[in-house]
């Protein structure tokens, strides 16, 4: 019970509602734009481009911020194109691409902690986009174009650059700290030690394995396996066991919430249209709450982000009550794969920590 209380412990000082409202205000722009033009299939790219651009914002002078976010958006556009191209191909290519992208993200720690976080964000987006495109490819009533998905992602990131420019003018052209000040901003180079390299390889193998399991077997609502594995996985060897437990529990809570909310998508016609628009709003609100409660409680933050992502990914696929069992089962499989990685990482960290230098 003591460990459980720590998983759900709250820090009142960690609430940041102004930041959450800013995310909601900015997210409403692409939401209404795609409602107006009638292409909601591109909404997920715009929302993730906006949210992840905000997370990657390093702060400082506006020129430096705009250049950094633009570079992040450019790399993200390439990742988006790869995900939506590979997502419609044979599952073997998807496995190979997932392994390469995940391994590259893990090794990005050599360029500094902040760039490592940027790489992890793009890694998460690649897995989400891969599952989303695979679901779209199976849904014959939905049409998606790679160039439009890339444009949607780039537009979301460009929206954040425009918002920061307006705020920079309002504040009298003064420098500002990074929006998510709790995230590390260190860009100093780090040496790639053997444990870090091995852990990056293990992560890449696990994510590639979950992609092979999900898409190779053509399971129902299969994208939940790699997404749950990625969301539940801690990004480095040094993270505490408590954070790992919070992320695992949060992912399961988010999967249950998303599964229950997606049941009404079994409707048809006008009612289905209304339900889908309502769920898009719910997903945006969940992402907003994730931005506001990140340091209030990590468990509920993970739940909000997981639920929002899974709702957006699964909207093109009609659902029913029977699908709930599949969703929860695949989520457990994905989380279980992450748990194996956490245990292996713990063993590696333990062996490294207990090693003693031999006398010369």
CB-CB contact of 57 with 65 (8 Å): yes
The burial class, CB within 10 Å (0-12 / 13-18 / 19+), for 353 is exposed
pLDDT of residue 355: 44
pLDDT of residue 346: 63
pLDDT tens digits, one per residue of 11-27? 887 788 888 888 888 88
Which pTM does this prediction carry? 0.80
pLDDT tens digits, one per residue of 175-230? 877 777 767 777 778 888 887 888 788 888 888 888 888 887 776 666 778 877 77
State the sign of the Cα–Cα–Cα–Cα dihedral 346, 348, 352, 354: positive
Tokens of 74: 């450019």
Residue 270 is given by DSSP the state: H
Which residue positions in the chain have pLDDT lower than 50?
Answer: 237-240, 354-360
Please state the φ and ψ torsions of residue 45, each to the nearest 5 degrees.
Answer: -65, -40
Instruction: Compute the C-alpha angle 251/119/147, nearest 5°.
Output: 95
pLDDT of residue 238: 46
DSSP of 293-329: STTT-HHHHHHHHHHHHHHHHHTTS---THHHHHHHH
């Amino acid at each position: 019970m003591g460990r459980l209380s720590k998983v759900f412990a709250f820090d009142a000082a960690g609430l940041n509602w102004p930041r959450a409202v800013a995310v909601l205000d900015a997210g409403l722009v692409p939401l209404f734009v795609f409602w107006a033009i009638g292409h909601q299939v591109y909404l997920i790219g715009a929302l993730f481009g906006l949210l992840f651009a905000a997370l990657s914002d390093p702060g400082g002078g506006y020129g430096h911020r705009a250049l950094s976010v633009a570079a992040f958006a450019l790399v993200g556009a390439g990742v988006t194109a790869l995900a939506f191209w590979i997502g419609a191909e044979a599952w073997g290519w998807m496995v190979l691409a997932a392994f390469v992208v995940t391994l590259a993200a893990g090794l990005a720690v050599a360029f500094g902690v902040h760039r490592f976080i940027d790489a992890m964000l793009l890694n998460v987006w690649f897995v989400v986009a891969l599952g989303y495109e695979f679901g779209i490819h199976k849904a014959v009533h939905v049409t998606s174009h790679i160039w439009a998905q890339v444009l949607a992602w780039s537009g979301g990131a460009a929206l954040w650059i425009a918002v920061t420019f307006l705020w920079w003018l309002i504040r009298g052209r003064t420098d500002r700290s990074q929006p998510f000040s709790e995230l590390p901003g260190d860009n100093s180079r780090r040496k790639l030690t053997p444990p870090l390299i091995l852990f990056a390889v293990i992560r890449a193998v696990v994510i590639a394995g979950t992609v092979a399991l999900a898409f190779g077997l053509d399971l129902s609502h299969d994208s939940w396996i790699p997404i749950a594995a990625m969301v539940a996985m801690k990004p480095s060897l040094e993270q505490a066991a408590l954070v790992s437990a919070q992320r695992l529990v949060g992912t399961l809570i988010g999967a249950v919430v998303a599964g229950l909310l997606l049941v009404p998508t079994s409707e048809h016609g006008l009612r289905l249209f209304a339900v889908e628009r309502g769920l898009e709003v719910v997903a945006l609100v969940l992402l907003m709450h994730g931005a506001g409660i990140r340091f209030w409680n990590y468990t509920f933050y993970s739940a909000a982000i997981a639920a929002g992502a899974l709702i957006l990914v699964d909207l093109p696929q009609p659902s029913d009550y029977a699908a709930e069992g599949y969703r929860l089962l695949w989520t457990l499989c994905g989380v279980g794969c992450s748990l194996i990685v956490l245990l292996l990482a713990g063993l590696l960290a333990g062996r490294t920590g207990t090693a003693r230098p031999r006398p010369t």
